[in-house]
Structure 1
Amino acid sequence: MVADVGKMSIVSKEGLLAGALGWDKHPLAYSKAVNLMRQLRDAYDAALDDVDIIVMPTTSAPSPPLPPVEASPLQHLRASAGLLENTSVINGTGHPALAMPIGMVPLTADKSLMLPASMQIVGRFFDEARMLQVAYAWESAYDWKKQHFGVSSG
């Protein structure tokens, strides 16, 4: 079965192209990545031996505006570059994680526009109940729509 590439989203097309290029130019990269992910999983497990939950930013910066529909794949890639460091690692280790909004931050390109910011809660394997308790406690204590970060009061 061959996918109709014309109907795919640009992100899916980019993923397919990157995968094909990777297999063609770097055939050993996948096995190395699998081994590195095992090491990362072990490192997160060790950290979670000392703490119940890891809380971190979901992304390292506010989201930029979406590129126009007619933008090239390279423009789409550049728009999301550097935003997935925290989430992609957890996708690789397989640890349970929950992202939730925590407040609003100004858009880098236009400080008058506010975008939601979020935190990621990472837990031990099979400990999703504790993660949900932490998320519920935060959500009960703060109204994320009223929390504004990085905004001067003057």
Structure 2
Amino acid sequence: MITKPLLAFAATALLASPAWATPGLHIGSSTQCPLTLKKGQPLHVTLITNHSIGYKWQLTHAAPELLSTEVQGAPVKEAVQEGARTGEIPPPKHVAQLGGDSLLRWSFTAHSAGDGQLKLVQLLPRLHGDTPQKTFNCAITVTP
């Protein structure tokens, strides 16, 4: 069984690999929050999902007073591999396996100074309706 801390570790380790060369701050877990960004700084949130069994992430609050949304839930080509589940992070695989975990990325740019909240929820609509199964909640401070 995959535990939440292990998945968060896997996402964080994958984000730290050279394959994630997009400039800006990369996070994969709300345990990395709260965040302080500078005006103009990019923020990339990458979360593990499994669409094949019905899970989906939904952006519920994008802190529009602070952040401009650039990309909403775009699939990341690299799949989460079996080794990531055991804590051994192999090089990214470029084709997601049917039924396997995959990654989705949201990208933002800090545009105004202030404090706010970024929130995403993971839903399993066919079994639980609108009841969140997981929540990504992050306090954001943007400085000039």
TM-score (norm 1): 0.26
TM-score (norm 2): 0.28
Name the one with the larger helix percent.
Answer: 1
Higher relative CO (Cα under 8 Å, sequence separation at least 6) belongs to: 2
